[in-house]
Chains A and B, each alone.
Chain A
Amino acid sequence: MQRYIVRRVFYALISLVLLSITIFCLIRFTGDPAVLMVEPGASEADLQAIRQEFGLDKPWVVQYGVFMVNMARGDFGMSIYYREPAFELYLQRLPASLLLAAVAMSISLLIGIPIGILSAVRVNSWLDTIGKTFSILGLSLPSFWVGLLLIMIFSVSWGWLPSSGSGTFWHILMPAFSLGWVFSAAYTRMARSAMLDVLGSEYIKLARLKGLPEKLVIAKHAFKNAVIPVLTLAGINLVIMMNVAVVVESVFAWPGIGRLLYEGISNRDFPVVQTTVLMGGMMIVVINLLVDILYAYVDPRIRYGQ
């Protein structure tokens, strides 16, 4: 187990280093970062001053070293637009993103699991057809369009919900639904296939042979096991949701990290964009590491297999 964990942590570290190198190189391959840091139309002398201030005239290796050391200290550079440390801006926006992701997650699970389970229990019935249609539709509608449709229906036509901003419970409903939409389709599929697997297993046959009422077999014996893989996936998806929310947040002006990224692009605020992407990558690496370790802890075959 220890060797396994050490190996996984090592891989995760490699991922993080590669991640930082990728982003570091991209910025320097695709143009002069000094140009990205000043307002358009700055003079050559200004550029030179910026290069010296941020050490952009030093060799790449040195620059990368400085970049890594600063990052390790939580220094991701100053936002050009807000004149504040980019990392602090990020931390300020994080709670809103977490809230949105959590609500979206709950909505998508509440929609996805029941539809998937019902679909599996009544295989090839009209319920199943609805479930399958729903899951393929979920994959095919861009989340921002779902958002636009919701605004059209609930804000413009009926005037029930506010179309943008945050603050009250009502503000979160539409963004959370748009964000959760594609995930609920994914959970429908997963819940359906997991339930089908469970229903074919021996212990369900035994439960039925014992003469348990079908409702009890489904609700108590099958349901619990079918939901486990969905919930595991949901844990990982929480992190992913926070990082794909950018388009939904920009539709609804939700003040999360996605909105920060969007503003970063509009304002040509490069340190902010870089921070958001890097932090997103780190979160994903860390959550993957945790899941790997958790799996190995639960299932000995994984830790001895490698």
Chain B
Amino acid sequence: MDSSTASVIDSVVLSADRPSRWSGLLRSFYEAPFVPLLILVLLVLTAVGADWLAPHDPTIGNLRARYLPPVWEERGSSEYLLGTDHMGRDVLSRLIHGSRISLVVATAAVLLAGVIGTTLGILSGFRGGWIDQVVMRLTDAWMALPTISFAILLAALLRPSEWNLVVILAAVYWTRYARVIRGEVLSLKERDFVRLAIVAGCSRTRIMGTHILPNIANSAIVMATLQFGVVIIAEATLSFLGVGVAPPQPAWGLMLFEGKSGLMTGFWWLSIFPGVCIMLVVLAANLLGDWFRVWSDPQLRQL
């Protein structure tokens, strides 16, 4: 999955749409895509307020109300707006609590991967020599790992839990940062302000921290935004395969896995709603990432 997304991200760069008129940064910020932003804000709000918003407990079911369809269907009940699952748990409440898991796991994984990848990328690019060789060979080897299979292997070795999931996803997705950041650092290193800093006698740590880091921050943030969606899908995939978030937690991927058995018997709502949630969030993250990449790159913006 990663290599395909990598090539997709590359082609995003190539096929970027060039906005025609831009008058100042402030104005451009107002042109942030509204709907994706709204979706992500809603995601954060539901994640924060899950305890108040959810009408029922997400893990405790009512066995007398199993497999109830959504409210607008014939047998639907207004108590369970989006129906109930095989244990009589409220789907809506599980979706709401699931947003928290998705958000926390994906954010933490993207941050951790970003920190690891960026640090290694800067070290590798700036120090060069054997450090560069070691880091880059490691990155090569790591990139050759079949992403999802590798994540599954890790997940099978570690106990399934949210934090292990974060570690696994970060362990799988740090390589792209390292590659790209290293490339940027290599060209930054030749720029006059870095040379000047070297001549002025700044320590290596200081140059990497105060001169190079701020200049690559943009790329790192853009990559992080674009990876957010990828990581959410990866988390859902692992949970769907039973090696991610452990039941009875209400993760979206896990809900799809549990709903799969009801698919042939016509309990469609168990397979539709969690998928729609994943789709909306990933779509929002991708659109926002696309926009942010164009916004943060003056060349694409044709300033």
Contacts and interface: CB of A to CB of B under 8 A. Distances in A.
Given A144-B256, A145-B256, A136 B286 contact: yes
A137 B283 contact: yes
A19 B137 CA distance: 10
B263 A148 contact: yes
A117 interface: no
Given A243-B148, A247-B240, A152 B153 contact: no
A246 interface: yes
Contacts of B287: 136
Interface string A129-163: 00000001101111011001101100110000001
Contact of A186 (B11, B156, B229): B11
Contact of A251 (B12, B142, B150, B260): B260
Given A19-B145, A149-B271, A189-B15, 15 more contacts: A14-B141, A140-B279, A145-B271, A148-B256, A152-B272, A182-B4, A182-B8, A190-B15, A193-B15, A247-B237, A247-B241, A250-B241, A277-B152, A280-B146, A284-B3
A43 interface: no
Interface in A30-44: 30-31, 36
Question: By DSSP majority rule, is chain B's interface helix, strand, loop, or mixed?
Answer: helix
Interface in A241-277: 243-244, 246-247, 250-251, 258, 261-262, 264-266, 268, 270, 273-274, 276-277
A261 B152 contact: yes
Nearest to A287: B144
Contact of A148 (B237, B243, B275): B275
A155 B268 CA distance: 12
Interface residues of B, number: 53
Contacts of A114: none
A154 to B, nearest CB: 12
Interface of B: 1, 3-5, 7-8, 11-12, 14-15, 137-138, 140-142, 144-150, 152-154, 156-158, 229, 233, 236-237, 240-243, 253, 256, 260, 263-264, 266, 268, 271-272, 275, 278-279, 282-283, 286-287, 290
Interface residues of A, number: 66
Given A14-B141, A27-B157, A280 B149 contact: yes
Nearest to B238: A247
A197 B243 CA distance: 43
A177 interface: no
B138 A246 contact: no
A15 B263 CA distance: 43
A114 to B, nearest CB: 16
A82 interface: no
